[in-house]
Amino acid sequence: MQKYYQTLSKDKKREIKELYKKEYHKTSINARLIRLLIFSILSIITAIVILILTFKYEKNHITSIILAIILILSSLIFIIGRSYVKLNLLNKIALKNK
């Protein structure tokens, strides 16, 4: 099921994003979303470094590979959740400014 925001044209979406930037620029939700994105990217980079070092220096790869895969999956889940929360906020703003 599509949200109202997804049914809008590109121009309307751009207007809604501008309203989002004005309304939520200095709020805690925006700071949390940015922090979540930064931590997710850092954890993906850490998982890649773990994989590289595992294949380079370790003989038993299993535990480090499982750790890196869990880290990548949890990071992707956080990124998807972040986009879901942001989409809900944009949809709320779009419905308010119909």
State pLDDT tens for residues 63-72: 999 999 999 9
State pLDDT tens for residues 36-47: 999 999 999 999
Euclidean distance between CA atoms 79 and 86, whole angstroms: 11
Alpha helices (H) along the chain: 10-24, 28-57, 62-96
Percent of residues, the chain, with pLDDT higher than 90: 69
